[in-house]
């Protein structure tokens, strides 16, 4: 209780941080009865963060509220961000910047070995251009520090021309502002569960940069919740991702100046659905995407939400009907159109 009270004080400080309102919450928390019946096993629910109402939505909207809030507070007129070619984050950064009257520079990394015109020009890439972002490219896909350095080089050039840029970094080691969005989301989820009188036995969430997974886990533990959180690996194997998530939680604790509420044993990762790699989907993942569409009319992407749905279905099938699992739907709908050829092959 003492830790929870301490965190409540820190949460007050968190709410005092600069924050740009980019959506109206809370997002829905829905039961998935048709998918539950189809799979058997535990009952499944979804936290619909695909319904954050900004340019097709997604989990990154929550993260950007803190990044862009700080950008506004610093008087920035331009936002810079880096990500994969079909990155949802960069699309939403451009959208958020537009809403707040700032320009956006997007750097797309060559992270996924797909060369189709759909992947390179459709989906999120088309939306990036429609949103008016200035486009850049970075040839490496697994060099977070190098991608960040290139952003800083671009930012220096903007400063030389009298601009006031704000850089959203990709690599760890920077203020965990994005993760704060999911610390707040943890509070929102617990309030909804209380209102619904619903006990959740496990939460399933995609685990990539670590901001969503780490922020959610931190918020739950700091608020006294012991609900297990299983991260479905979407970019790196479980061993490396475990270290990343725990480090992200430690960064949040230091930033909020409170004791670390997360134990290493709280960090649970599953990399079963990672293969054949980041941005690529196995037949099992494609089937999970189709099952969600056919049974619940829920749209998922092959990179993040599809892999975590495959993880959810697997976890549900292994558990008793009296158990309840909650899926964090992180969005990613526009990316579907970048994978047209891959979907055509799976029909």
pLDDT per residue rounded down to tens, the chain (347 residues): 444 555 666 666 788 899 999 999 899 999 999 999 999 999 999 999 999 999 999 999 999 999 999 999 999 999 999 999 999 999 999 999 999 999 999 999 999 999 999 999 999 999 999 999 999 999 998 899 999 999 999 999 999 999 999 999 998 889 999 999 999 999 999 999 999 999 999 999 999 999 999 999 999 999 999 999 999 999 999 999 999 999 999 999 999 988 999 999 999 999 999 999 999 999 999 999 999 999 999 999 999 999 999 999 999 999 999 999 999 999 999 999 999 999 999 88
Strand partners, 116: none
pLDDT at 7: 60
| Pairing between β-strand 29-31 and β-strand 103-109 as defined by DSSP bridges | unpaired
Residues 264 and 193 in one domain: yes
Residues with catalytic roles: 87
Read off the pTM: 0.96
Q: Give the count of domains, the chain.
A: 2
CATH code of the domain containing 233: 3.40.50.1100
CB atoms within 10 A of CB 21: 11
Alpha carbon separation from 195 to 47, 58, 151, 188, 292 (Å, rounded): 14, 24, 44, 11, 26
| Pairing between β-strand 29-31 and β-strand 43-48 as defined by DSSP bridges | antiparallel
Residues 123 and 214 in one domain: no
Which of 168, 195, 227 is at the close of a domain? 168
Residues 153 and 181 in one domain: no
Which of 106, 133, 168 is at the close of a domain? 168
Residues 6 or more apart whose CB falls under 8 angstroms from that of 21 comprise: 65
Residues 200 and 162 in one domain: no
Which of 127, 150, 168 is at the close of a domain? 168
Residues 206 and 256 in one domain: yes
Output the six-digit token pair for 164. Answer: 């006031």
Residues 93 and 141 in one domain: yes
pLDDT at 10: 61
Residues 81 and 132 in one domain: yes
Domain extent for 202:
2-58+176-346
pLDDT at 198: 98
């Amino acid at each position: 209780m003492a830790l929870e009270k301490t965190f409540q004080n820190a949460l007050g400080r968190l709410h005092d941080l600069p924050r740009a309102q980019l959506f109206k919450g809370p997002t829905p928390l829905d039961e998935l009865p048709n998918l539950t019946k189809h799979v058997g096993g535990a009952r499944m629910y979804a936290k619909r963060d695909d319904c954050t109402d900004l340019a097709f939505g997604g989990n990154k909207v929550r993260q950007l509220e803190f990044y862009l809030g700080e950008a506004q507070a610093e008087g920035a007129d331009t936002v810079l961000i880096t990500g994969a070619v079909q990155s949802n984050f960069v699309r939403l950064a451009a959208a958020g910047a537009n809403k707040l009257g700032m320009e956006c520079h997007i750097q797309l990394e060559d992270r996924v070995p797909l060369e189709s015109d759909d992947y390179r020009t459709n989906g999120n890439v088309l939306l990036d251009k429609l949103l008016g972002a200035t486009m850049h490219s970075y040839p490496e896909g697994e060099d977070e520090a190098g991608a960040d350095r290139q952003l800083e080089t671009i930012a220096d050039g903007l400063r030389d021309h009298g601009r006031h840029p704000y850089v959203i970094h990709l690599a760890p080691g920077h203020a965990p502002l994005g993760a704060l969005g999911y610390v707040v989301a943890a509070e929102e989820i617990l309030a909804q569960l209380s209102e619904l009188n619903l006990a959740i036995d496990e939460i399933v969430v995609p685990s990539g940069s670590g901001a969503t997974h780490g922020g959610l886990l931190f918020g739950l533990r700091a608020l006294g919740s012991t609900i297990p959180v299983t991260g479905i690996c979407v970019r790196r194997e479980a061993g490396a991702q475990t270290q990343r998530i725990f480090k992200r939680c430690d960064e949040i604790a230091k930033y909020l100046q409170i004791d670390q509420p997360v134990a290493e044993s709280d960090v649970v990762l599953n990399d079963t659905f990672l293969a054949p790699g980041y941005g690529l989907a196995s037949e099992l993942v494609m089937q999970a995407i189709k099952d969600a569409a056919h049974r619940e009319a829920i749209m998922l992407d092959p990179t993040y939400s599809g892999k975590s749905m495959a993880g959810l279905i697997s976890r549900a099938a292994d558990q008793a009907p009296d158990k309840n699992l909650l899926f964090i739907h992180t969005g990613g709908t526009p990316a579907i159109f970048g994978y047209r050829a891959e979907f055509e092959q799976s029909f």
